[in-house]
Structure 1
Amino acid sequence: MRKRLALAATAVLALLASLFVLAQPAHAQTGFTVEEGRLLDANGNDFVMRGVSHAHTWYAQETDSFAGIKSHGANTVRVVLSNGGQWTRNDASDVANVISICKANRLICMLEVHDTTGYGEAGAAVTLDEAVDYWISIQSVLSGEEDYILINIGNEPYGNNASVNAGWASATSGAITRLRDAGFDHTLVVDAPNWGQDWAHIMRDNAPDVYAADPTGNTLFSIHMYGVYAQAATVTAYLEHFVDAGLPLVVGEFGHDHSDGNPDEDTIMAEAERLGLGYIGWSWSGNSGGVDYLDMTEGFDADNLTSWGERIFYGSNGIDATAEEASVFGGSNPGPGPGPSPDPGGNTGCTAVYTTVGQWQGGFQGQVTVTAGAAALAGWQVKWTFGGGQSVSQSWSTSLSTSGAAVTAANASYNGTLAASGSTTFGFLGSGATPSSLALTCTAL
C-alpha cells in the first residue's frame, strides 16, 4: 500500500466474463508451485493464503508482530521490505532473520519490495528492474527457502499514468524472466498497475501473456482492492474472471475503508472464500498519513485489536475461521466449528472433518478438510447424507454430486494427490438449517 495517493479514477467499467484456454507450463519442482490456477505448497497440497501485511521496513524493531499475527490464526504474513530506493534498505541478514521468525511462528512469508509503489506517478518510485536487482543481491538467503517464502517482486509497481502503464506487461514479464534466469525457483507474485487496483484492466487483459512468460508456470497475480471495489458485483466479476480463465490470483491487499472510497470488505472476504482464493489484509499496525484506521491493532499490541482487526480475524469469512496452516509445518488450523466428524469407515486411507464457517437465515457455508493417513494418496472421495433436508447449492475445490440427501465429493484435478498426513480442503454452500455435524466417510482412490 502506498502512503497513500488518492486514485484519479472513480468509475469502473462493468467487467465482462470471458474464458481463456490457458496452456500450463511445467511448474517448478521445489517449494510452492502453481498448478491449474491453484497455489500448492511444497507437499503438493492446496494452500489458500489467509494473512495480513506487516510494515517491517518502517518498524524493524516490531519483530513480536509475527507471533501476534499467528496468535489470531493467520497462515501468511506479507512483509514490507525496501531496496533502498525510497526507504532504508533491508539487507540480507535482516531478511534472513525475518524468514527465520516466520518459520518459527509457522507462517508462510510473502516478501515484497515496496519502493516500486506508484512508478510513473510517484516521483521517487523505482522500477521493477531495480526491484529485481535487489532480489538478486540477497539471493543467498532466499535460495533453499522455497518451501516457506513467496517473492512479491514489487508493490503496486505503476500508478495511474496511462502512457507509462502501457509498459506493465513487458516490464513484469521481463522481471520474471530475469529472476528465472538468475536461478530463482520460488513462486513469484506480481502486482497490478493503477496503484494495485487494475481499474483499467491492464493486468486482467495481459495476464495470460505474462503468465506464459514464466517458463516454470509458477507466477501468482495479486490484486489490491480498495475504493475501486466498493460494489459487490465489481469484486465478484474481477475474481471470477481469473478463476474462469484458470489464472492464479490472490487478493494481495484490501481494507475496510480508504481515502478513494469504501471497499466492500464483506464481499471480498466472502467471495475469496467461495472461490478458494487467498486474501491478505492491510495492515497489522503503524499506518500514518491519515489512514491509521487501517491498523488492525493499537500500537502493535496483539491483545488490543481495532474494529478492523476484529473484523478480519474474527468476522464472517475471517482469518481465524478459514485459515489452514501450511502442511510443510506438519499441522493444520481449520478454525473453530462444531467439532470433527470422525470417519466411521475405519482405516480407509484418509479422514474428513466438517466445519461450519458461516451461516445465515436459510443457509450456511461448510468446509471439509481431507487428510491422508500414513500413506500418500492419488485421489480421495468423501460421502455424507444430510439428515435435515439440506442441499448443496454450490461447491468449489471438489467434483460434487448429489442424489437426494446423499452427497459425494471427489477431489478436483489439482488437490487429489496428498502426501502422507497431508491435507487439503473443499467447500460448499448449503441451503436449509445449519447442521451441527456431518458423519463423513473418506475413501482413498
Structure 2
Amino acid sequence: MNNINSRAGTAPRGRPLRKWLLAAVTALTVALAGAWALLPAGAQTGGGFSINGTQLIDANGNPFVMRGSSHAQVWYQGEFDSYSELSDLGANTVRVVLGSGQRWGPSPASTVADIIDECKANQLICVLEVHDTTGYGEDGAAATLDQAVDYWKSIQSVLEGQEAYVLINIGNEPIGNTDAAQWTDATKSAIQEMRAAGFDHTLVVDAPNWGQDWEHIMRDNAPEVAAADSQGNTLFSVHMYQVFGTSQTVIDYFDAFEAMDLPLIVGEYGDEHQGQPVAWQTVQSEAQARGIGWLAWSYSGNGSGAENLDQVLGFDPNRMTTWGDRVFNSQYGIANTAERASVFGGTPPDDDTTPPDDDTTPPDDDETTPPPAGDGDCTAAIDVVNDWGSGWQGNVSVTAGESLGGWTLTWTWPGGQTVQSQWNADLSQSGSSVTASDVGWNGSIASGQTKEVFGFIASGPAAAPEVTCSAA
C-alpha cells in the first residue's frame, strides 16, 4: 500500500510505565542470573526463522503464524507507542514501513535498532520492509530492488544477530502493472545479493502488480524464485485487495501455493479498497484453517483515499474503526487466533492450554458437556463456512477429551458430496466414506481444548455430517 496522510507525525504519548518497569526488571534478572541461561533457545543457538514446506518455523523449531498489522514508521516517526499498542491488542507481528532514501528516509540504522528493541520488549516479531520500491516500472519515482538491497546492506550491522526476531521484506510491491514479468529475475537477483552479503534472515518477497499478482507472475514463478535462495528461506507475500473480491479468488490463490508446497503470507489486505469489496472473511478463515500468516493494512495514518483502512483513528487505540474491529475482534481476528512466538519464552503454540481441574468448568460453553462414553478420546465437527452453489468450503474442528498426540476422523456423506482439495490433513475418500488424519504439527491438542485443525473444498450440496474422532 502506498498512502501517506499529509499531517506530520505527532509527538509521542507517554509510554506506559509498566512497559519500562517490565524491561528494567527483565534486564536486571538477566544480569543477575546469567544472560546466556535465560535467553530463548533460538537466541542461544544463533538460529533464526526458517521454512519447512508451507510453514514458517521459529528459532525454537515451532510453527509460527503471523497475526498482525503494519505501522508506517517512516511517515509517522513520532508514533513510537504504536508497537506497544499493537501488542496490547494481541498482535504477534508488526510490519514496519521504512524508507531507503529514494522516496522516503532513509531510515537510519539507529532508528531501526530502536524499532527492533521495542518489538522485542513487546513480544512482537518484526517484519521490516522498504517502501520506496512500490510500483517500480509504473511509478517513475519508485526505487529498484537493487537499491533496496543497498539500503539493507547499509544497516546490516543492526540486523545481524536478530534473525530470531526479524524478517526482511526486501521491497514493498516492487513492480507495478507495467512489464510485471520483470519481477522474477529482479527478485531472484535481490535474494542472491542479500545472501552474498551475508544476510541469514528469512527473506519476504512481495508480488508484482502492486502486490496483488493478478497476472499470476509470482504464483507461476514461485518455485524458480524459491530455488534461487541458497538457504531455502524465502517467504512469499501477496497483497489482497479488490483483485480478491470473491471467496473463490482467495481460495484458488491459497490452493496454488499449497499445491507447490511453498510458504505464503498475506502481507497486506483490507475489507474494501478503492470502493471495491475484499473477501476479508475468507482471507481470515482460510488463513486460519491453513496456517497462513497475515498482516492487515494498517494501524493508522492512511490518506489519499485509503482512510477507510485505518484500524484506529489518530493512532488512538481507544478509537477503533469498523475495519479495526474486524482485524482484532472478529471470529478469526487477532484476539482469537494470535499466538506469541515461542522465542519470547512462552509455551510453544498448540500446547498453551492448561487442562481444567476435575471440579472446574471448562473455559468454553461448547465444551461443558464431555464426550459420551465409548466415543473415544475426542469429538469433531464440520462447519460450513462458504457455499457458492457449485461447491463449498468446510472447516473441521476437534475437541480433545484427553490430551491428543494425533487424531483420525471418519464420516459418511449424505448426498454425493466429494472432497476436491484439502489442507493440513491426510484425507482419502471411498464412495461416500471419508477418512482424514493429522499431518504431524497439528495433531497435538490439550485436554478440553477445541482447535480448528483442517479445511477442505467439496462439490455437491453443503453438508455437515456427524464425524467420528479417534486418537491416533
Report whether the alignment pairs 1:183 with 2:198: yes
Q: 1:30 to 1:304 in 2, by over 3 A?
A: same
- Structural mapping, 1:130-149, within 5 Å: 130-149=147-166
Alpha-carbon separation, structure 2, partners of 1:102 and 1:261: 33
- Structural mapping, 1:178-217, within 5 Å: 178-217=193-232
Contact 2:383–2:464 at 8 Å: present in 1 too? Answer: no
Selected match of 1:224 from 230, 236, 239 = 239
Q: 1:369 to 1:285 in 2, by over 3 A?
A: farther
> Which residue is equivalent to 1:292?
307
C-alpha deviations, 1:154-190, integer Å up to 9, x for none? 000011112xx22211110000001101111110000
Report whether the alignment pairs 1:309 with 2:314: no
> Which residue is equivalent to 1:268?
283
> Which residue is equivalent to 1:158?
175
- How far residue 440 of structure 1 moved from its aligned partner, in angstroms, is 9.4
Q: Which has the higher helix share?
A: 2
Find the residue that maps to 1:312 and give its secondary structure: helix
> Which residue is equivalent to 1:24?
none
Q: 1:361 to 1:89 in 2, by over 3 A?
A: closer
> Which residue is equivalent to 1:109?
126
Q: 1:380 to 1:62 in 2, by over 3 A?
A: same
Selected match of 1:50 from 67, 70, 75 = 67
Find the residue that maps to 1:190 and give its secondary structure: strand
Alpha-carbon separation, structure 2, partners of 1:232 and 1:218: 29
1:118 partner amino acid: G
Q: 1:236 to 1:383 in 2, by over 3 A?
A: closer
Report whether the alignment pairs 1:397 with 2:424: yes
- Structural mapping, 1:343-362, within 5 Å: none
Contact 1:54–1:283 at 8 Å: present in 2 too? Answer: yes
Q: 1:395 to 1:241 in 2, by over 3 A?
A: closer
- How far residue 353 of structure 1 moved from its aligned partner, in angstroms, is 11
Calculate percent identity across the aligned residue pairs.
48
Contact 1:340–1:353 at 8 Å: present in 2 too? Answer: no
Contact 2:424–2:442 at 8 Å: present in 1 too? Answer: no
C-alpha deviations, 1:212-257, integer Å up to 9, x for none? 0001110011000111111221111111101111111111100011
**Where does the alignment leave 5 or more consecutive residues of structure 2 unmatched?**
5-44, 354-362, 371-376, 388-392, 412-418, 445-450, 457-462
C-alpha deviations, 1:340-367, integer Å up to 9, x for none? 989x9xxxxxxx9999998879998566
Q: 1:359 to 1:237 in 2, by over 3 A?
A: closer
1:3 partner amino acid: N
Q: 1:202 to 1:309 in 2, by over 3 A?
A: same
- How far residue 200 of structure 1 moved from its aligned partner, in angstroms, is 1.1
Find the residue that maps to 1:214 and give its secondary structure: coil
Alpha-carbon separation, structure 2, partners of 1:359 and 1:295: 31
Find the residue that maps to 1:166 and give its secondary structure: helix
Alpha-carbon separation, structure 1, partners of 2:57 and 2:235: 11
Alpha-carbon separation, structure 1, partners of 2:136 and 2:287: 28
Selected match of 1:278 from 293, 296, 315 = 293
2:453 partner amino acid: G
Q: 1:384 to 1:433 in 2, by over 3 A?
A: closer
**Where does the alignment leave 5 or more consecutive residues of structure 1 unmatched?**
5-27, 345-351, 374-378, 387-392, 419-424
C-alpha deviations, 1:365-410, integer Å up to 9, x for none? 566799xx9xxxxx94257999xxxxxx8974354799xxx99854
1:278 partner amino acid: G
> Which residue is equivalent to 1:250?
265
Contact 1:341–1:439 at 8 Å: present in 2 too? Answer: no
Alpha-carbon separation, structure 2, partners of 1:317 and 1:354: 21
Alpha-carbon separation, structure 1, partners of 2:291 and 2:169: 20
Contact 1:338–1:355 at 8 Å: present in 2 too? Answer: no
- How far residue 46 of structure 1 moved from its aligned partner, in angstroms, is 1.2
Return the structure number with greater relative CO, CA threshold 8 A, min gap 6.
1
RMSD: 4.0
> Which residue is equivalent to 1:241?
256
Q: 1:361 to 1:279 in 2, by over 3 A?
A: closer
